[in-house]
Structure 1
Amino acid sequence: MSGFKKFLFQGNLVQLAVAVVIGAVFSDLVTAFTTAFITPLLGIFGGVPKFASLSFTINGSEFQYGAFIDALISFLLTAAILYFFVVLPMTKMLERFARAEEATHRECPACFSEISRKATRCAFCTSEVTPEKSG
């Protein structure tokens, strides 16, 4: 039973649960924004104020394609928001960190291992190397 308690309260599981809840609330927020602002705005140009009311019937079966259009708009907005406000900034930040680390390390000319630019001897093959000046 203690293993199960440890599993339930370990950091990754709690973080995942929080992420799922925040994601669901964020999805609701984007859907509400789409319904309240984007769909009516598109209705000004397209003539249909609410896509959810669009449907057609074949042999008594109703196909509500308007609800799909609303969901598609919500999805595209959510994906765009996540890309421009989460993915893109994180990618830029990770590239900066990679460049900073790259600037502090170099390749050993003898064994091609990664060593500090300030090193005078390779920690892997023990060859003597000339330290590089920080730029």
Structure 2
Amino acid sequence: MGGFKKFLMRGNLVELAVAVVVGATFSGLVQALVKDLITPLIAAITGGGGPDFSQYVFTVNGAKFMYGDFINHLLSFLIIAAVIYWLVVMPMTRVIAFFDRDRKATEKKCPECLSDIPVDASRCAFCTAELSQVRAADRPPA
């Protein structure tokens, strides 16, 4: 039972739970933004039949296709994806690039199979191609 308690109290699990709750709340907020502000704005600009896309449907042999609701969800998805990209992915990419800029290369590409291999390797571990015998430490600076 102690192992289960440790598992539940690990930082990663708690952080993940907080992220899920915040993400769900953010999703609800974006859906309200799309439904209450963006789609009425689009309807006002285009002169559409109504401000709520979710009411747009067509029927084929008694089957109802709610394409307007799909448009609402598509807009929500695009907004959430854009926010995540601009507020999470881009900053993290810059932070990682900042810390990796001074890091010394530890791997190179094999000229035969293009696998990543250690810089000092004399033979590729993947295709067994023999590499040049000049070690990285002995090479003249580039």
Instruction: Tell me the TM-score normalized by structure 2.
Output: 0.68
Looking at structure 1, the residues matched to 91 and 84 of structure 2 have their Cα atoms a distance apart, in angstroms, of 10
3-state SS, counterpart of residue 77 of structure 1: helix
Match in the other structure for 1:20? 20
Identity %: 50
Aligned to 2:77, which of 63, 75, 78? Answer: 75
The unaligned stretches of length 5 or more in structure 2 are 107-117, 121-136, 138-142
Q: Which residue of 2 aligns with 1:40?
A: 40
Query: Structure 1: which 5+ residue stretches go unaligned?
Result: 114-126, 128-135
Output the amino acid matched with 2:45.
Answer: F
**Which of 71, 87, 90 lines up with 1:88 in the alignment?**
90
Distance (Å, rounded) in 2 between the aligned partners of 1:20 and 1:81: 16
- The alpha carbon displacement at 1:94 in A equals 1.2
The Cα shift of 1:43 comes to 1.1
Count of aligned pairs between the two proteins: 111
> Which amino acid counterpart does residue 92 of structure 2 have in structure 1?
M
Cα distance in 2 between the residues matched to 1:106 and 1:30 = 43
Please give the per-residue CA displacement for 1:42-62, whole angstroms capped at 9, x wherever unaligned: 112332322111001122221
- Where does structure 1 differ by over 4 angstroms across 4 or more consecutive aligned residues? none
**What is the deviation of 1:11?**
1.1
